[in-house]
Amino acid sequence: MAQLLVDRRDVSFVLHEQFAAGELGKYEQFAEVNPKIMDMVVQEARNLAIKELLPTNRTGDEQGCSFRDGQVYTPEGFQRAWQLLVDGEWIALDCSPEYNGQGMPSIVMQSAWEYLLAANMAFMMAPIMNHGAGKVLEAFGTPEQKETYLRRIYSGDLGATMMITEAEAGSDLAQIQTTAHKNADGTYSLSGSKIYISQGDTDLTENIVHLVLARIEGAPEGTRGLSLFLVPKYHIRPDGSAGERNDVVCTGIEEKMGIHGSATCSMALGSKGECLGTLIGQENKGLSIMFHMMNDARLMVGSIGLANASSSYLYALDYARARRQGNMVDDRDSKYVPIIAHPDVRRMLMHMKMFVEGMRSLHYYIALCKDYRTLAEKDGDKEKYQDLIDILIPVAKGYVTDRSIDICNLGIQVYGGYGYTKEYPVEQLLRDVRITTIYEGTNGIQANDLLGRKLFIKDGNLPERLTAEILEVVDKARKYPDLEALAHKLASLVDTWQVVAGQVKQDIGNGQVQNAFVHAYAFMDITGDMVMAWMLLWRACTALDKMNGEGKKKDLKFYRGQLKSAENFIGTVIPVTFGKANSILEKCGAAIEIEDEEFGAK
């Protein structure tokens, strides 16, 4: 039987062989989480995803959410799916047991949630919002806020949202106009409107907790004057039940290209002058609080891209093995061969395979860094893992979601005309995944963050952290005759990347800022290519270790597949990467120098 959504063997390979996640069990915090427990969690997530969430995916796409009489209604089957998610305690898998979390390692949640995200991305927007809002409250909430809301957010008894975007303040949060007036009792009265709020209203839960970014009256202009507030849909009584309705309402939902099962809401706060909320953290520190959770949010968006790409690849692979069409290019007498036999289809499948595998390893690696950062006893170790997370996040979000769209696009191409129809699932995957390059900061913002911030912070040490880790794998790969040439090419790319990074930093230092930033996206691309080559070469080393050691014969083809992924990526993608690097070093400034009128069409 063909696999759906995620390759079980590959998840096991990354979790236990490449990253040896079972080693986490040696630490007291994860003492009860052995490899067997990890596998049980992932298997249960797979069962839930395939049996319960996946059947609601097409329904959600076809029915969409509806907005009637001021209330959002989710598609058929979503309420049952939510209850199963709540009953299984999946929302807070990696969160503190003190607040109804399961206390699992982040890498276990990453592997389990990959199945859930691949099954129904639109539905999973709701638990994503709960998880993100809960993390903010866990870090910055008052004891009263935690007691009243946090446990219920993690359990799924309450819904949650993040209210940030406004009509005149998309990526530029300095323009936020929602205001907050401090009351005598310490609460705040909020007034304003927000747009594009995922799960701003829903029928999955009776009550919803909104985290709202707003400006207190008299606060400084720009982002320095933003604060974060907790605003419930219904005020909560001392006994925990829902009390009076707060003055925060959904005024409509968007018709979108994809994720029809997720309500994207316009919200009004204080239209009657009665919207009350409480401050989270300190006044005027709202943006720093938001940035605290931004890494997790961006990593989650990248994981959505990975999950959709994985699903598209497995659907395309299964179809290519079953669909018979044409003859072999070198044997005109052959007829009706499976299309996987055709060179161009193999090219597309190989492209999909290597990127999905590399992206999976990257996301699991970052999750593992989060775990070791938490466990580290020395400040230096904590800093090391945080540095790696920080420099890899733009790649894990920006580069990965770009490649995910490419992969989902290829999924349609493998199917041919059938892929363009609604009869098969791959067209929906492409429509749904498209939003990931926009969510949580557009990919252009990710590129700017990598070039303009991550290259400079901490005295510019983050690039050295990254290249040191890559070269460690390169050194290991050089010990294998089969990988020596691949290791040499990756080492050469690391050298080139360092030259490009140095040139970009020099240009910015010399005042050539706009010309440097016009190449930011290309820089993110070559960084992503370098990281993918690193992950795939690491996989190849692991596979060879297993082939030469205790690896089982039944796994030999899987391990050989890892070698082919690394070989194909480094042999076909990396030569193009050097061209991208050269294009940055050329410092072409035409896109900056062209005058507005010279774009034409005026």
Asked if the model's pLDDT at residue 334 lies above 80, the reply is: no
Same-domain status, 134 and 52: yes
Q: What is the pLDDT of residue 302?
A: 98
The CATH number covering residue 31 comes to 1.10.540.10
Same-domain status, 83 and 179: no
Q: How far apart are CA 507 and CA 513, in angstroms?
A: 7
Q: What is the pLDDT of residue 577?
A: 98
Same-domain status, 173 and 193: yes
Residue 23 domain flag: yes
Q: What average pLDDT does this structure show over 176-197?
A: 97
The pTM assigned to this predicted structure is: 0.96
Tens digit of each residue's pLDDT (9 = 90 or more) over 200-231: 999 999 999 999 999 999 999 999 999 999 99
Q: How far apart are CA 115 and CA 103, in angstroms?
A: 19
Mean pLDDT over each residue of the chain, to the nearest integer = 95
Q: How many domains does the chain have?
A: 3
Same-domain status, 148 and 15: yes
> What is the pLDDT confidence band of residue 402, given thresholds at 50, 70 and 90?
very high
Who contacts 347 (Cβ-Cβ below 8 Å, separation ≥6)?
Answer: none
Asked if the model's pLDDT at residue 478 lies above 70, the reply is: yes
Same-domain status, 162 and 284: yes
The CATH number covering residue 223 comes to 2.40.110.20
Judged by phi (left if over 0) then psi (alpha if -120 to 50, else beta), residue 100 lies in left
Q: What is the pLDDT of residue 4?
A: 84
Three-state SS for 503-518 is HHHHHHHCCCHHHHHC
Same-domain status, 122 and 179: no
Same-domain status, 520 and 553: yes
Q: What is the pLDDT of residue 551?
A: 61
Judged by phi (left if over 0) then psi (alpha if -120 to 50, else beta), residue 26 lies in alpha
Where do the H-state alpha helices sit in 376-519? 379-394, 400-415, 426-433, 443-449, 457-460, 462-477, 484-509, 513-517
Least confident of 8-22, 117-131, 259-273, 326-340: 326-340
Q: Of 154, 174, 189, which residue sits at a domain end?
A: 154
The boundaries of the domain holding residue 527 are 456-594
Q: What is the pLDDT of residue 486?
A: 98
Residues shown for the chain: 602
Q: What is the pLDDT of residue 327?
A: 85
Tens digit of each residue's pLDDT (9 = 90 or more) over 145-154: 999 999 999 9
Residue 279 domain flag: yes
Residue 324 domain flag: no
Asked if the model's pLDDT at residue 1 lies above 70, the reply is: no
Tens digit of each residue's pLDDT (9 = 90 or more) over 264-314: 999 999 999 999 999 999 999 998 998 888 889 999 999 999 999 999 999
Q: How far apart are CA 76 and CA 159, in angstroms?
A: 18
Same-domain status, 589 and 544: yes
Asked if the model's pLDDT at residue 325 lies above 70, the reply is: yes
Residue 327 domain flag: no
Q: What average pLDDT does this structure show over 342-349?
A: 97
Same-domain status, 135 and 205: no
Are residues 269 and 215 in contact, defined by beta-carbon separation less than 8 angstroms?
no
Task: Name the DSSP letter for residue 258.
Answer: S
Dihedral angle, C-alpha 15, 18, 21, 26, nearest 10 °: 160
Q: Of 154, 174, 197, which residue sits at a domain end?
A: 154
Same-domain status, 107 and 243: no
Residue 423 domain flag: no
Are residues 201 and 230 in contact, defined by beta-carbon separation less than 8 angstroms?
no
Same-domain status, 131 and 257: no
Q: What is the pLDDT of residue 251?
A: 97
Residues with catalytic roles: 440
Q: How far apart are CA 286 and CA 194, in angstroms?
A: 16
Q: Of 154, 170, 189, which residue sits at a domain end?
A: 154
Least confident of 262-276, 463-477, 487-501, 551-565: 551-565
Residue 99 domain flag: yes
Nearest to 78 by CA among 46, 39, 122, 116: 122
Residue 352 domain flag: no
> What is the pLDDT confidence band of residue 602, given thresholds at 50, 70 and 90?
confident
Same-domain status, 91 and 168: no
Nearest to 91 by CA among 205, 194, 195, 7: 205
Residue 430 domain flag: no
